[in-house]
Structure 1
């Protein structure tokens, strides 16, 4: 079984590489943007012709939330055109696509956890392009899993956890917003779930593969960014003066969802995955 991974140098791509040795039954092909540029349709076709993947995990994305407000064309190219290109080639090669999306497709006005069928309403360019990428895939073919996730961190690449630890080494005090509520997701946990989906789909009979569609995945629980930062510092024995502030005191180019907790009932039901609490997963993440 061949699984091709785009965006191999990103956070999720590196997380997948870190656990790939645990799955000898899978032949992973890791491609960074120089080896496989998802915005180049011919480049994708060449790679698929060479490797003939059974599955493709699209971990390539434009994820600079604030920068996207001033670079909408670049975000559109990667998150929409890139997703559409991959879907077209996956359809041609009968490859099952696993595409990563985001809680930012929602506006954050819910008071309860978002379900897959809730109506998206992104408030910024990043969320909008990720939603448009989802739709481009859905309009192209049926053999896809779109996994919406949130607040991804790990020991790899750039993320909130590593930023907090870096800033704590440079400053005596920090202020973090406490009125945006969501759930941190360890990239390794996300990687494990993606592989679990692949294995369980592969082992099912073709006629039972009526499980394609959109799924939510994050760790369990909920917190604010302030709570997340506080837990990061406690686990890593960092002493710093941490203050909670409202979003209005920390204006950003892109508006963030005030509440973006994801309901994981569907993915637990269809794939029998056990999901760790966010604090438990954070403790297991060592830089």
Structure 2
């Protein structure tokens, strides 16, 4: 089995690379954006002709939420055109596509966890391009899994946890937003979930479960917290003493509006694929 992974140098791409030893029956092909530019259709065709993957994990994305407001063309190129290119080349090779999306497709006005059935309503360029990318895939190729996730962090690449640790080494106090609620997701847990989907694809019990297997799924760790709570736990786990101040979003204006509430309901992915999901605090301590 050949699994092609785009965005190999990104956070999720590196997380997948960290666990390949657990999957000796899979031949992984990791492509950086320099090796596989998903915005280039011909480049996509060449790579797929060379490796002929049975599965493609699209871990390539434009994720600079605030920067997207000032360079929407770049966000569209990667998150929409790139997703469409991959879906089309996957169709021509009968390759199953696993595409990672985001909680930012929602407006954050909900009062209970978002399910896959809830209507998206993005409030910024980043969320809109991710939603448009989902639609492009749905219109291009039926054999897809779109996995929406949230607040991804890890020991790899740039993320909130690493930013907090860096700032704590430079300052005596920090102010962190306390009125945005969501769920941190460890990139390695997300990587494991994607590979669980792949290894389950030929499982008869999954096919006969009566649930439409292809489609949209939510995945994050369990539980919920604010960014302030997340920061406090990061410092606690790392035995860092720092003065941490909770602030409202209004005190820290950003170019892109963040969802005030973006907790995801994981019932579907747990039911269909039997995935056991760790609580976010447990996963933070583990990694």
CA distance in structure 1 between the partners assigned to 2:119 and 2:198 by the alignment: 27
Give the total of aligned pairs: 285
CA distance in 1, matches of 2:162, 2:238: 11
Q: Which residue of 1 aligns with 2:150?
A: 150
Residue 214 of structure 2 is matched in structure 1 by 212
How far apart in 2 are the matches of 1:31 and 1:149? 22
Deviation at 1:38, TM superposition (A): 0.2
- State how far apart, in whole Å, the 2-side matches of 1:206 and 1:279 are: 30
Report whether the alignment pairs 1:64 with 2:85. Answer: no
Tell me which residue corresponds to 1:98: 98
C-alpha RMSD over aligned residues: 1.2
- Deviation track 1:185-221 (CA, whole Å, cap 9, x = no partner) reads 0000000000000000033499759400000000000
Give, in angstroms, the shift of residue 141 of structure 1. Answer: 1.3
1:86-118 superposed Cα distances (whole Å, 9 cap, x missing partner): 000000000000000000000000000000010
**Per-residue deviation at 1:21?**
1.2
Normalising by structure 1, we get a TM-score of: 0.98
1:9 aligns with 2:9: yes
User: What is the alpha-carbon distance in structure 1 between the residues aligned to residue 199 and residue 238 of structure 2?
Assistant: 35
> Which residues of 2 match residues 86-125 of structure 1 at below 5 A?
86-125=86-125
Q: Secondary structure at the match of 2:37?
A: coil
1:225 to 227, 234, 259: 227
1:19 alignment partner in structure 2? 19
Aligned partner of 1:270 among 249, 269, 272: 272
Change (3 A) 1:183 1:16: same
CA distance in 2, matches of 1:72, 1:246: 27
**Match of residue 179 from structure 1:** 179
Contact 2:101 2:147 in 1 (8 A): yes
Residue 80 of structure 2 is matched in structure 1 by 80
Unaligned runs of 5+ in 2: none
Specify the alignment match of 1:241 in structure 2. Answer: 243
For residues 94 and 241 of structure 1, what CA distance do their matches in structure 2 show?
54
Q: What SS does structure 1 have at the residue aligned with 2:18?
A: helix
Structure 2: distance between partners of 1:125 and 1:284: 34
Determine helix, strand or coil for the equivalent of 1:202: coil
